[in-house]
Amino acid sequence: MSAETLVALLHGPDQPGLVAKTAGWIFTRGGNILHADQHRDLEEGVFFQRIEWEPSASSSAHAEVDAFQEFAGVLGMQSSVAATTKRTRVALFVSKADHCFHDLVLRWRANEFPCEIVAVVSNHETLEPVARGYGLPFYHVPVTAATKADAEARQMALLRELDVELVVLARYMQVLSAEMLTAFGRPVINIHHSFLPAFAGGKPYHQAYQRGVKLIGATAHYATRMLDEGPIIQQDVARVTHRHSVDDLVRRGRDLEKTVLAQAVRWHLEHRVLVYGNKTVVFD
């Protein structure tokens, strides 16, 4: 078993000595820093830091979390602290497309993701046999325009019952309402099959083909009330030419979608993503 470490993400107004102060706080409490990285937004004057450390053997992780957050508050910083031994409880929302679903589950089974997949939720029954083949609980919640509110109420009840901490929309192909996102109140990661902000909304590959673009892309972002406008976590692109059909764009795009979504999920689970405003700082 790996030793328990703590990871803190903090940001706030830049001021002299912040790196020294956080390092000194950990040192004086008997901790050992393993990784530290920081960034300064020069235009906004905002300081960002990710720091990982082994707490003293005489301290409990819970006590250290509370103490660090109090310390960060004294510095005027907003902070979050997590123990790396805690496995995030994840629900995958899927529809009929299976490429992102298989990729995420296989990576999870290979221990690439420090999480527990506690539910697969879908508006179709298409992926139920393969989900159960992976040993994952599958929940079919049909969604139509007329039943959307009731369906989301069922989904919310399930997320609360299972204490889900992260929802991943693995090509779910349904828009979560602003009301559901607010009620859930926890991160939701979506994969959009274009290089946002270009070609937001439906059928982006068809939009790209009609526009005659030379690059297609995929974007993983946090879902917000505004469709496809949430903070971006990861993006990638592939070159295309006039010789590629819509089907070619879809096929090439699927490879991008898998890798971009997997990277975004991994960074989130490793506490490397710090959201501020509608932007992110991603610590590598």
* Cβ-contact 257, 94 below 8 angstroms: no
How far CA 95 is from CA of 16, 151, 190, 218, 219, in Å, comes to 50, 14, 13, 18, 18
Q: How many CB atoms lie within 10 A of CB 63?
A: 11
- State both tokens at 280: 């992110």
Q: Distance (Å, rounded) from C-alpha 224 to C-alpha 178?
A: 7
271 phi-psi bin (left φ>0, alpha ψ -120 to 50, beta other):
left
- SS3 state at 41: strand
Q: Distance (Å, rounded) from C-alpha 216 to C-alpha 171?
A: 17
Q: Distance (Å, rounded) from C-alpha 42 to C-alpha 90?
A: 35
* Cβ-contact 235, 195 below 8 angstroms: yes
> CA nearest 170: which of 107, 79, 215, 83?
107
Q: How many CB atoms lie within 10 A of CB 28?
A: 8
CB-side neighbour CA atoms (13 Å) of 235? 16
- State both tokens at 16: 């002299």
> CA nearest 23: which of 12, 13, 10?
10
- State both tokens at 90: 């994840």
Cis peptide before 197 (omega within 30 of 0): yes
pLDDT of residue 1: 42
- State both tokens at 76: 């005027």
Q: Distance (Å, rounded) from C-alpha 122 to C-alpha 155?
A: 10
**How far apart are the two ends of the chain, measured CA to CA in Å?**
24
Strand 279-282 to 78-83 pairing: unpaired
* Cβ-contact 224, 200 below 8 angstroms: no
Domains and CATH numbers, the chain: 6-83 (3.30.70.260), 88-282 (3.40.50.170)
Catalytic residues: 228
pLDDT tens for the chain, 284 residues long, are: 457 899 999 999 999 999 999 999 999 999 999 999 999 999 999 999 999 999 998 888 888 999 999 999 999 999 999 999 999 999 999 999 999 999 999 999 999 999 999 999 999 999 999 999 999 999 999 999 999 999 999 999 999 999 999 999 999 989 999 999 999 999 999 998 877 767 777 788 888 888 898 888 899 999 998 877 899 999 999 898 899 898 888 888 899 999 999 999 999 999 999 999 899 999 98
* Cβ-contact 161, 195 below 8 angstroms: no
The β-bridge partners of 121 are: 93, 139
